[in-house]
């Protein structure tokens, strides 16, 4: 199958899966991203003008703040991808697993460590330039699902993601990168709408971040899980069973 057909087929499956499991996935997203929205809001509301520091230091602080705002947008996506991996590969057939079961099965330590390392690696890549940042984002973007699907260690999941993506870079890039870029654009629009309705208060910023992330991050997570399962199957000849054909919510 050609690359364009693989990409188109993957997008169709992402949409069907997202729509089919929307109710349970969105509820899970609210639980994950409401607390993370607080962290993003705190980052976005740093007032550098109030700091009594030299201009050169302030410029560096501004650059770091912009980078932090960008990268905290990635924070939680790898963790959430791991949670969605459990939801889409559960043993209950066409019924979504209870949130209590997902919470019990999640490997919190490894997922949080992978999430933080992913953000740090992408940040380091961006410091070197746009291309290294993109490479890091694509190479290690499947680590979250791998932690749960294959029960690998933090380093093992990152290495496995790199091995799976190698040889399939353009497929992963053409799926994950547009979702991230379009999601950020839509998220900015949602945030602007929330601020228009509620003003530019801290609570409004928190709500805007939480709504945008909870609504859009599931698309990235579903894409990462589907890609991971497909690439495991291509590389190993067998992949974890994927229950992604629920009746649309």
Each residue of 227-236: pLDDT tens digit?
A: 999 999 888 8
Per-residue CA distances from 43 to 101, 115, 130, 194, 228 (Å): 32, 18, 22, 18, 31
Regarding predicted confidence, which is higher, 237 or 152? 152
Distance between CA atoms of 197 and 193, rounded to whole angstroms?
6
Regarding predicted confidence, which is higher, 50 or 115? 115
What's the rounded mean pLDDT across residues 50-59? 45
Residue 9 maps to a domain: yes
pLDDT of residue 43: 57
Cβ–Cβ under 8 Å, residues 106 and 83: yes
Cβ–Cβ under 8 Å, residues 105 and 149: no
Backbone angles phi, psi at 210, to 5 degrees: -65, -45
Residue 247 maps to a domain: no
- 55 pLDDT more than 70: no
Residue 242 maps to a domain: no
Residue 21 maps to a domain: yes
- 131 pLDDT more than 90: yes
Q: Domains in the chain: how many in total?
A: 1
Residue 230 maps to a domain: yes
Residue 174 maps to a domain: yes
Regarding predicted confidence, which is higher, 79 or 227? 227
Distance between CA atoms of 186 and 30, rounded to whole angstroms?
17
Query: Look-up: residue for tokens 């974890």?
Result: 240
Residue range 181-217, pLDDT digits in tens: 888 788 778 777 877 877 777 777 777 777 777 778 8
> pLDDT above 90 covers what percent of the chain?
22
**Torsion angle defined by CA atoms of residues 228, 230, 235 and 237, in that order, rounded to the nearest 10 degrees:** 130
pTM: 0.77
Could you tell me the residue range of the domain that residue 125 belongs to? 3-235
DSSP H helical ranges for the chain:
3-20, 22-44, 55-72, 77-88, 99-105, 108-128, 130-139, 143-150, 154-165, 169-198, 202-236
Strand, helix or coil for residue 73: coil
Residue 44 maps to a domain: yes
> pLDDT above 70 covers what percent of the chain?
77
Residue 243 maps to a domain: no
Considering the chain, what is the average pLDDT of its residues?
Answer: 77
């Amino acid at each position: 199958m050609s690359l364009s057909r693989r990409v188109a087929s993957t997008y169709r499956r992402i949409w069907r899966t997202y729509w089919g499991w929307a109710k349970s996935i969105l509820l899970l997203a609210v639980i994950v991203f409401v607390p993370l929205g607080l962290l993003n809001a705190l980052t976005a509301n740093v007032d550098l003008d109030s700091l009594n520091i030299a201009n050169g230091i302030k410029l560096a602080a501004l650059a770091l703040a912009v980078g932090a705002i960008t990268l905290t947008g990635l924070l939680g996506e790898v963790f959430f991808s791991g949670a969605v991996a459990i939801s889409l590969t559960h043993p209950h057939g066409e019924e979504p697993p209870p949130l209590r079961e997902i919470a019990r099965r999640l490997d919190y330590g490894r997922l949080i460590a992978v999430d933080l390392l992913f953000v740090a690696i992408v940040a380091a890549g961006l410091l070197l330039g746009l291309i290294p940042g993109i490479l890091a984002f694509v190479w290690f973007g499947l680590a979250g699902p791998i932690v749960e699907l294959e029960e690998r260690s933090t380093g093992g999941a990152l290495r496995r993601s790199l091995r799976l993506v190698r040889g399939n870079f353009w497929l992963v890039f053409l799926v994950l990168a547009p979702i991230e870029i379009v999601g950020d654009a839509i998220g900015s629009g949602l945030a602007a709408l929330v601020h228009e309705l509620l003003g530019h208060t801290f609570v409004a910023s928190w709500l805007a971040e939480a709504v945008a992330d909870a609504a859009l991050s599931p698309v990235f997570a579903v894409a990462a899980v589907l890609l991971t399962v497909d690439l495991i199957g291509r590389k190993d000849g067998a992949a974890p069973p994927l229950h992604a054909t629920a009746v649309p919510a």
